[in-house]
Amino acid sequence: MNIFKRLIFAVTFGIAIFTGGTSNAEAVDYYSAIYQTVNRYNGNEVECDWIARAILYASSEYQVDPILITAIMEAESNFDFHARSSVGAIGLMQLMPETAQAIGVNPHNPLENIIGGTIYIKNQLGRFQDWGAYSVTDAVAAYNAGPGAVEKHGGVPNYAETVQYVINVARNYKNLLSLIQS
């Protein structure tokens, strides 16, 4: 592995990724950590609760780590229902219209947007699962830059935006974990 890829991994995902079910006690910890994180950006209690519950629903339905979904959403939109990027990405998970259409969700519908983003990261995790210790890092990079770019570069592409994105998602993930563990 090249030094760049090792550095990104070490800075980012030197932690175990949750893939199984949670007990009720653990679910409460996940809910609280997600709610607290969303609340830092969105002070509306109803919206914070809705986002936290939608993340936990999508996580359970598609077997994707709720902390990873939350970390990506934070990096993508800071939990803004109406977020829109300069390149046309839409909503909480910043889905491109073509991606949303391919997945079969309406990116303007907040729940479908979260489900679509969850399906998309699950697809990337599956696509890169055999890439070894860096597979989660590569999947996160693919969420940002596209899987073709990750495959072409043999890992996280050396694009400033994507490198920063992977670092941001990892930082968000670690912050959420610290809330759960406290």
Look up tokens 């550095």; give the residue.
7
Nearest-angstrom CA–CA distance, 94 and 116: 10
Name the catalytic one among 45, 76, 112, 151. 76
Where does 42-109 have alpha helices with state H? Answer: 45-62, 66-77, 97-103
20: left (phi over 0), alpha (psi -120 to 50) or beta: beta
CB atoms within 10 A of CB 16: 9
Q: Is 151 a catalytic residue?
A: no
Catalytic residue list: 76
